[in-house]
Structure 1
Amino acid sequence: MDVECPLIPVPLQVNLLTPPCEGDSSPVLELICLLWDFTPNEAKVEWLVNGIKKDLPGTVYSSAEGTNGLFMGQSRVNISRESWNKEDVYTCKVSHPALSTDYEMRNASKCIPTDRCDPRPVEVFLYPPSLEDIFVAHNTTITCLVTNLETPSNLEISWSRGSKGTLDVVTGKPVQQQNSTYSVTSILRVCAEEWKSGEQFTCTVKHPGIPSAITKSIHKTKATNLQAPSVYVYPPSADELSLQEVATLTCLAKGFRPSDIMVTWTQQGRPVSQETFINVGPVQDTAEKELNYFIYSKLSVLTNEWQRGDIFACVVGHEGLPMTFVQKSVDKASGKPTAVNVSVVLSDTEITCY
């Protein structure tokens, strides 16, 4: 007695063929959505223009069974060159019983520049707060960046948080990139203490150009085995000062864990411009058994500012420090650095949590 084996669905593969980027001046162009290696023969193809479903003229779908027992299909549509030239985005939306998501989508638009002929998928990146915001401002932001959008139309960005607390969200306007795709940034404002507590924050992105919502989550990892940095500040060398040009001060923070650290400078008690100093690191110190980290910072000032006795301070922020910060200052008169654990304010803005 013959036993009929149940049909096992096989998901399809999809590709969208577009007109040549150059050399074709026809008033009517053709797009072809190719499907292959799928079973059962139950694929459904829809076309969207700028994210909206359209019944396009000349739409033809056909399918056939291949020698391997799987099916192939194609949907062909005609579009106007005028629409193509103004960079309308065409989407081939395919649904099939074997797909793990509701549908597969492929987008196409005019190739300006040529890398649009091979568009990259929409990507979502979630960025944690800056250390300056955490240590200094006490207010901080988490950033959700969406890139490679063929069109920003019908983009949805939403936020959620583990505590179910209030959401203070600012979403910027779409920005067109050099490759003619768009990016959009959404910012969630939170208190630094909420971030440091380990609460989870989630950004969810929906767009016609992606088959299903993209969800990214982030939270601060609880640090274990904290180790506070030791901080050393070095004045300019006599040889350098003799040139009467630039005076270089150096700050070394070493022996700390984890690697998250903030190093900045003040002059006469005021923050210096970020253009005046360079940080190198943090770098893991392989010479130590504990594999702690170190970082160098180099501040460049005018020689006469050093010679007149201005006080310069290297300010280091790290969660292993007793009061979050240590400030080590040096000037020409003292001749040697002095250190104090402080809770400093490096911002002119009032410290209030959102």
Structure 2
Amino acid sequence: KTPECPSHTQPLGVYLLTPAVQDLWLRDKATFTCFVVGSDLKDAHLTWEVAGKVPTGGVEEGLLERHSNGSQSQHSRLTLPRSLWNAGTSVTCTLNHPSLPPQRLMALREPAAQAPVKLSLNLLASSDPPEAASWLLCEVSGFSPPNILLMWLEDQREVNTSGFAPARPPPQPRSTTFWAWSVLRVPAPPSPQPATYTCVVSHEDSRTLLNASRSLEVSYVTDHGPMKHHHHHH
């Protein structure tokens, strides 16, 4: 506590996080997290409404957490079926605290959404010398809102996210839709056998998962001779 500000208390802040695309796609659930941050939360209480009614289940209350800077936080989590959220149901979180009027936050799924229309997977460059790496570029376009999930699979196994970097989707020029891309670095030689790399794209408005695959094969001519890269495209 500084002398200029002896009795500073942090005003209460309340936040509502809307569902992540991972949840919508991989679990078929829409998960909302409402959390409040402040200096004294022991009387704070978070409540939910779904389409104006109190939900009968699916609410999980978090414990009060204390942080090193003296603030506290508390959260509540609401899980709904994805279909309910897709249908345009409104979700409201209300913070009730004796010292404040109720603070309400409302989430609505963005309307006029467009599913992605185009997905391409290209080999960017094999490095010279070929021992170094190859890069695969996955691009997806024509979607709105910009909330999208790009994942990579290597022979049907999920690639650890540290191996690739997705970009924030910028709006497409002269268009209301967005595009996104991700680059995967493939260390060479991946293996003497061809490995198939798949880019999987899920978007909240799409009924299907889009995917595109490409196999990279490395062949050895001799132990010390030149290595050849062959790239097959499906």
Q: Please say whether Structure 1 and Structure 2 have the same fold, judged by a TM-score greater than 0.5.
A: yes
Return the alpha-carbon distance in structure 2 between the equivalents of residues 337 and 302 of structure 1: 18
Matched, 1:212 2:96: no
Question: TM-score, normalising length from structure 2?
Answer: 0.83
Matched, 1:277 2:167: no
Q: Is the 8 A contact 1:135 1:324 kept in 2?
A: no
Return the alpha-carbon distance in structure 1 between the equivalents of residues 37 and 110 of structure 2: 26
Of all paired residues, the percent bearing the same amino acid is: 21
Q: Is the 8 A contact 2:29 2:79 kept in 1?
A: yes
Matched, 1:327 2:216: no
1:257 aligns with one of 136, 141, 144:
144
Displacement after TM superposition at 1:170 (Å): 1.0
2:16 aligns with one of 113, 122, 126:
126
Displacement after TM superposition at 1:199 (Å): 0.8
Q: CA RMSD for the aligned pairs?
A: 2.5
Which residue identity is paired with 2:231? G
Q: Is the 8 A contact 2:115 2:203 kept in 1?
A: no
Q: Which runs of 5+ in 2 are unaligned?
A: 218-229
Displacement after TM superposition at 1:238 (Å): 2.3
Taking a change above 3 Å as real, the CA distance of residues 213 and 329 of structure 1, as seen in their structure-2 partners, is same
Matched, 1:235 2:119: no
Deviations 1:196-240 (A, max 9, x none): 1111111111224x421211111212225x353311112252225
Partner of 1:266: 153
Return the alpha-carbon distance in structure 2 between the equivalents of residues 294 and 243 of structure 1: 31
Please give the residue correspondences for 1:14-53 in structure 2 after superposition, counting only pairs within 5 Å: 21=2
Taking a change above 3 Å as real, the CA distance of residues 337 and 134 of structure 1, as seen in their structure-2 partners, is farther
2:111 aligns with one of 216, 222, 230:
222
Q: Which has the larger radius of gyration?
A: 1
Displacement after TM superposition at 1:128 (Å): 0.5
Return the alpha-carbon distance in structure 1 between the equivalents of residues 187 and 7 of structure 2: 52
Return the alpha-carbon distance in structure 1 between the equivalents of residues 32 and 100 of structure 2: 25
Taking a change above 3 Å as real, the CA distance of residues 292 and 221 of structure 1, as seen in their structure-2 partners, is closer
Partner of 1:162: 51
Taking a change above 3 Å as real, the CA distance of residues 318 and 195 of structure 1, as seen in their structure-2 partners, is same
Return structure 1 stretches of 4+ with deviation > 6 angstroms: none
Return the alpha-carbon distance in structure 1 between the equivalents of residues 2 and 18 of structure 2: 39
Question: TM-score, normalising length from structure 1?
Answer: 0.57
